[in-house]
Structure formats: structure tokens, C-alpha cells
């Protein structure tokens, strides 16, 4: 029955009516707050391209974690800026690595906060790639004068799996509750599951960055985590933004390998991928509202071109409407405050 019997505006007249008709709700319990851990103590260094987000030393991270929990946000995800980088990502899997130290300290102080450990090598590799680099014709000395052309290096898949598995086990040992591989090597979920099980971490879940696209929206993160590749780009391992069917295959394979939860990343430009994944798979589904998405909102708001709080809440709500049950966002704390 159409107009005039049907009037869609009837249910929009008051906030109470709108609330009854509302299909999607945002709650702090679905948010995850990312944190960047750096060496030193008393350090709180704001990231230039991410106003409001800082590199935090372990002691400051503990404070931040406590505050996050108090706001009703159940989980954080940790990234590390190691003291030293090398060609085997020692800082990623060392038991006294920066994230391992932060995880221990936070677990001690804020017991009921879920700690997610991002498993990747790029922040810990001198070349900034997410796997082991094999040089071709040209050598890749640390101070490689001329960056090699694509044909002259390769990100080696299978050898990288061992380092990723080692990282996962070391993080679990440090008290990390959920292991989240973001490297996009083939077979990493299976390799990590096997290593965790062998080490006795049968109950440590894997949240796989299953459909992670090679995105320009990661720009500010690479400044925050000092993880930009020193040559080339990540297109030989992260996905082509053009592909949604391939994203479904990536997710399916990660589930077969033992992923407990899956993620689509970035979020807002990929809402169709989130919706398709929700439709097709029954695992908890996370979406990562990445650094560039955050930076765009903050920059436009600073110019008074948009209403910051309104756009922030709208983007998070819409990511949930698309089908994500978990949202990783740099706005987690602020959103939780507004939802309280």
C-alpha cells in the first residue's frame, strides 16, 4: 500500500519513535582500541597525521589501557615500535619485545581487558615488508643506496611463516588473549594455529585479517608505527582493492586453516565486502576503520568542514550496519564516551 496510506515519516517524528524503529545500535562493547607502544618511559608522542593518537611507552600504555577499560571498551590491539629493526624481525618474536613487555604490564594491571596482538613483521624489519625479503640481482644492504626494482626482490612466503608463528607463540606467552595476523602471507593462519597448539595455547583464538587490501588508507599508520616499506609496495601480498570474490576466497581459506574470527580492512571504502562476508560466513566479523579513515575525519573537522562527532558516530554505525560485529577504531575511546 503506497502513499497516502503509507507514510514513511510517521516513525521519524520523535527521537523515541526513531529509537523504536532503529535497526542497528552502536555499543562500546563492540569496539577495539589500537595502541602503538614505543621504548622509554613517560613517553606520549602524538602522531603527526593522527591527532589524538600517540606513541606510548609501556607505563603510559598501562594508563591508557586502564582508561579504555573504564570507558566500557572491552579490548585493545597492540602494535610495536622496537628499539632496533633487522632482517629477521627479532623485535617481533623476542620474549622481551616491546609488545610482549606492554602485554605483560597491561595484563598485570587491567586484568579483564582483552589484549589482541597484531602479528606482522613490517614494524620489525629493516626493510619494512611484512615477510622475509630475498634479494635478486642486487643486494639489499640495510643502507641500500638505490631501491631495487620489483623484479629484483621477492617477499618469501613459506620462510616467513616460521617467524610469524614464533611471534604468535611469544605473544601468547606474554599474556596476549587473541592473535591477529595482518601480514597476508599464504598459510599463516594454519602455521600459527599449529604452533600455538604445540606450545599449549589451545584456547588462544585467532582473529585473522582475512581480507586485507593494499590500501592508501594505511598511510598515517605507517608513520605511527614507522613501518613504511623502504622499497616497492605491499601489492604482492595484500589484496587488490578491485576484488571482492577473491576476498571471499581469502576468508574461506583462513576459516579452513582455523581462524576463529575474521576481519575486513579497511572498513568504510569496503562496506560491500563486509556485507558480503556477513552474508556468507558465520564467524564473528571484525572491520578495521584504519588510520586514513580516522585522519580524514579529523582533518575535515579541524577545517570545520564536517561535524566531527556526528561523522565519527555515523561512520561507526554504518560499519556495524554493513555487518561488522567488532570494530577496530582509533575513535573507540571517544565513541564510548559519547555512548555513555
From 10-18, 189-197, 216-224, 243-251, span contacting ligand PBG (CB under 6 A): 216-224
Site string for ligand PBG, 111-130 (x = CB under 6 A): -------x-x-x-------x
Q: Which of 222, 278, 321, 337 binds ligand PBG (CB under 6 A)?
A: 222
* CA distance from start to end of the chain: 40
63 catalytic? Reply is no
Smallest distance from ligand PBG to CB 42, Å: 25
Secondary element (H or E) of residue 311: helix 308-322
Instruction: Give dist(CA 209, CA 206) in Å, integer.
Output: 9
Cα 32 from Cα 113, distance rounded (Å): 10
For residue 155, what are the β-bridge partners?
Answer: 133
Cell numbers linked to 334: 571517544
Rounded to whole angstroms, the Cα distance separating 203 from 223 reads 34
Based on the shown chain and the rule CB under 6 A, indicate whether residue 213 belongs to the binding site for ligand PBG.
no
Max alpha carbon distance in the chain (Å)?
A: 75
C-alpha cell at 187: 598459510
| Options 36, 93, 213, 218; binder of ligand PBG; rule CB under 6 A | 218
Binding status of residue 54 toward ligand PBG by CB under 6 A: no
Kindly state whether residue 194 participates in binding ligand PBG, applying the rule CB under 6 A: no
Chain residue whose CB lies nearest ligand PBG? 221
Closest separation between CB of residue 324 and ligand PBG, Å?
15
Which 226-245 positions form the footprint of ligand PBG (CB under 6 A)? Answer: 234
d(CA 225, CA 38) in angstroms, rounded, equals: 9
Residues marked as catalytic? 212, 265
What does the binding site for ligand PBG look like in residue numbers (CB under 6 A)? 118, 120, 122, 130, 182, 218, 221-222, 234, 290-291
Amino acid at each position: 500500500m503506497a502513499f497516502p496510506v503509507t507514510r514513511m515519516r510517521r516513525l521519524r517524528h520523535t527521537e523515541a519513535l526513531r529509537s523504536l524503529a532503529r535497526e542497528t545500535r552502536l555499543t562500546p562493547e563492540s569496539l577495539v582500541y589500537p595502541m602503538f607502544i614505543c621504548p622509554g618511559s613517560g613517553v606520549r608522542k602524538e602522531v603527526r597525521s593522527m591527532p589524538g593518537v600517540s606513541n606510548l611507552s609501556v607505563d603510559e600504555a598501562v594508563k591508557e589501557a586502564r582508561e579504555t577499560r573504564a570507558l566500557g571498551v572491552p579490548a585493545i590491539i597492540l602494535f610495536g615500535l622496537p628499539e632496533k629493526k633487522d632482517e629477521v624481525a627479532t623485535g617481533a618474536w623476542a620474549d622481551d619485545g616491546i609488545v610482549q613487555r606492554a602485554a605483560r604490564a597491561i595484563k598485570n594491571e587491567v586484568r579483564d581487558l582483552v589484549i589482541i596482538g597484531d602479528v606482522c613483521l613490517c614494524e620489525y624489519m629493516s626493510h619494512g615488508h611484512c615477510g622475509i625479503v630475498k634479494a635478486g640481482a642486487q643486494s639489499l644492504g640495510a643502507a641500500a643506496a638505490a631501491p631495487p626494482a620489483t623484479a629484483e626482490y621477492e617477499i618469501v612466503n613459506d620462510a616467513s611463516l616460521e617467524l610469524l608463528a614464533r611471534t604468535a607463540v611469544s605473544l601468547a606467552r606474554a599474556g596476549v588473549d587473541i592473535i591477529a595476523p595482518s601480514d597476508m602471507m599464504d598459510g599463516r593462519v594454519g602455521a600459527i594455529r599449529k604452533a600455538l597448539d604445540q606450545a599449549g595455547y589451545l584456547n588462544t583464538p585467532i582473529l585473522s585479517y582475512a581480507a586485507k587490501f593494499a590500501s592508501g588508507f594505511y598511510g598515517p599508520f605507517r608513520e605511527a608505527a614507522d613501518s613504511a616499506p623502504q622499497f616497492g609496495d605491499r601489492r604482492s601480498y595484500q589484496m587488490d582493492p578491485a576484488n571482492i570474490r577473491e576476498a571471499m576466497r581469502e576468508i574461506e581459506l583462513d576459516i579452513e586453516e582455523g581462524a576463529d574470527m575474521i576481519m575486513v580492512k579497511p572498513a568504510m571504502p569496503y562496506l560491500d565486502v563486509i556485507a558480503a562476508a556477513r552474508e556468507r560466513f558465520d564467524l564473528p566479523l571484525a572491520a578495521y576503520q584504519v588510520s586514513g579513515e580516522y585522519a580524514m575525519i579529523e582533518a575535515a573537522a579541524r577545517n570545520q568542514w564536517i561535524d566531527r562527532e556526528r561523522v565519527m558516530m555515523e561512520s561507526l554505525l554504518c560499519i556495524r550496519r554493513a555487518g561488522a560485529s567488532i570494530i577496530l577504531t582509533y575513535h573507540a575511546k571517544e565513541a564510548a564516551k559519547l555512548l555513555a
